[in-house]
Amino acid sequence: MPSNNSVRKEENVPLLEDSPPTIRLKEEGDHDDEQDLSRRVWIESKKLWQVTGPAVFSRLSSCSMIVITQGFAGHLGDLELAAISIACNVIIGFDLGFLLGMASALETLCGQAFGAKKYYMLGVYMQRSWIVLFLCCVLLLPMFVFASPVLKLLGQPTDIAELSGKVALCLLPLHFAFAFQCPLQRFLQSQRKNSVIAWSTFAALVVHVVVNWLFVYRLQLGLVATVITLGFSWWVMVLLQLLYTVFGGCPLTWDGFSIAAFSDLWEFVKLSAASGVMLCLEYWYYKILVLMTGNLENSEIVVDALSICMNINGWEMMIPLGFFAGTGVRVANELGAGHGKGAKFAATVSVVTSIAIGLFFWLLVMLFHNELALIFSSSKPVLQEVNKLSVLLAFTILLNSVQPILSGVAVGSGWQSYVAYINLGCYYLVGLPLGYFMEYVFHQGVMGIWAGMIFGGTALQTLILAIITIRCDWEKEAQRASMHLLKWSSTLEEH
């Protein structure tokens, strides 16, 4: 039974602006101007990879579940691959982008609270996020129920739209799993329990492979069974992480279910909505590319080829997204502890490391462009189309090795609302119109649409975020975080 003081604290758990500072003794590896640069880089890299390594592994595993599902469907036929590609890339892409964004508010809140050693706040924050995301899932249900008529309205071929609608209904269990898994992952990640995330995701991946093999190859139950296995496997991951949290894995940060989770929900929604808009505008950007190609000539082959490129890009992007998570946690921890220089150094090391990895994969795509699509399809026209698109895929991968890490800096610093405006302007006021112009004026097809979106949207957004990060006054950010934490401390004394 928690004490009365503990209960009173829980009932007054505020958002970020009410959080207190903490005084931390300098530890080995804290940033010091006199410390040797190479040693500082080594120490920061170890801290970064403690979060990033398991985050990359878990994201690769969860992305692999979607890729495996599409791979099984692709060998059923071109129509099945196109339908599940539309459902996963467009419907689930829109859905996951928004819910991940809503949950990324926890990276700011939990990361700074953990850095300030206010551990009990993390559990209440996560429960608030569960409530908000579940309500969002209910509001998003029409997107799944009316998928077929909406896709037809957007110009998709009738056969693809009809089958995509059936797939969408089978994805509803996955849809609700996101509402619990996204906050759980950030809750565990912010306190560096990354191995739990990695092992639970790997266990779900193993289950997914086995169940797919059983349902599709042995029992030959077709496309619907393939899709249903995805939701089942995702819930395995959710339950493993939840059981770990509830049954003693997080004694400092989980104090049981609390009525305090229902307080200050509107303030939490506002911060979550800013995060949701920031991230979903990024997620939706390239999903819209898949939709736009559905109106092109020979759309089934083009959609198949582009979806394969998006899957490869999505698979590789799990690495920079792992750095997004690691950077957000490291920057938030340092700011929460009042270390402005430490936050700046963490961001710098993360960006440089991710760019080096991005260059490696850029080279890999350029060298093996002929073999990229074999895992998804054996159709010769699809393979030829993917080969044509490989150059744009390589440059997309290179740009994406920078942009998510700069977004991670924004999340760790609480700049989500600013980045949302930047994403809206770059992606939807510049990139999409330029892509549309390249196709419908210069008739460059899918390559013109994609090139316009890369260089008009992603490149511009990356440049603006880089300028903001370089010009940031990190000491001022640390002072701002400390002032917010001091306000919260005064609130507690009053109660």
CB atoms within 10 A of CB 25: 5
In the chain, pLDDT over 70 holds for what percent of residues?
Answer: 81
Kindly state the average pLDDT of the residues 329-351.
Answer: 80
Distance CA 289, CA 389 (A): 13
Distance CA 38, CA 150 (A): 55
Residue 371 lies in a domain: yes
Residue 35 lies in a domain: no
Residue 21 lies in a domain: no
In the chain, pLDDT over 90 holds for what percent of residues?
Answer: 7
Give Cβ neighbours of residue 63 (< 8 Å, ≥ 6 apart). Answer: 314, 315, 318
Question: Can you give the pLDDT at residue 486?
Answer: 53
Kindly state the average pLDDT of the residues 309-314.
Answer: 79
Q: How confident is the model at residue 21 (pLDDT cuts 50, 70, 90)?
A: very low
Distance CA 424, CA 464 (A): 13
Residue 387: domain span? 50-489
354-405, pLDDT tens digit by residue? Answer: 889 889 988 888 888 777 777 676 678 878 888 888 888 888 888 888 887 8
Token pair belonging to 397:
């991968």
Nearest-5° angle of CA 383, CA 385, CA 390? Answer: 95
Distance CA 178, CA 231 (A): 10
3-state secondary structure of 265: helix
- For the ranges 27-36, 207-216, 404-413, the maximum mean pLDDT occurs at 207-216
Q: Where are the alpha helices (DSSP H) in 157-264?
A: 158-170, 172-190, 194-212, 222-244
Token pair belonging to 337:
């502890």
Residue 20 lies in a domain: no
Residue 58 lies in a domain: yes
Q: How confident is the model at residue 290 (pLDDT cuts 50, 70, 90)?
A: low
Residue 260 lies in a domain: yes
Q: How confident is the model at residue 311 (pLDDT cuts 50, 70, 90)?
A: confident
Token pair belonging to 406:
């700069």
Distance CA 456, CA 428 (A): 10
User: Does residue 439 contact residue 451 with C-beta atoms inside 8 Å?
Assistant: no
Residue 436 lies in a domain: yes
Distance CA 16, CA 480 (A): 11
215-266, pLDDT tens digit by residue? Answer: 877 777 777 788 888 889 999 999 999 999 999 888 888 888 878 778 777 7
Distances (CA, A) of 208 to 63, 127, 216, 373: 12, 28, 12, 22
Token pair belonging to 342:
């430490």
Question: Locate tokens 């950077």: which residue?
Answer: 327
Q: CA end-to-end span of the chain, whole Å?
A: 21
176 versus 161: the higher-pLDDT residue is 176
Residue 453 lies in a domain: yes
Question: Can you give the pLDDT at residue 1?
Answer: 42
141 versus 9: the higher-pLDDT residue is 141
Provide the number of structural domains found in the chain: 1
Beta strands in 254-309 (DSSP E): none
- For the ranges 191-200, 242-251, 266-275, 418-427, the maximum mean pLDDT occurs at 242-251
User: Does residue 289 contact residue 449 with C-beta atoms inside 8 Å?
Assistant: yes
Q: How confident is the model at residue 184 (pLDDT cuts 50, 70, 90)?
A: very high
Question: Can you give the pLDDT at residue 19?
Answer: 38
Distance CA 102, CA 389 (A): 32
Question: Can you give the pLDDT at residue 138?
Answer: 92
Distance CA 354, CA 113 (A): 26
Question: Locate tokens 């998570």: which residue?
Answer: 325
Distance CA 152, CA 103 (A): 31
Question: Can you give the pLDDT at residue 296?
Answer: 64
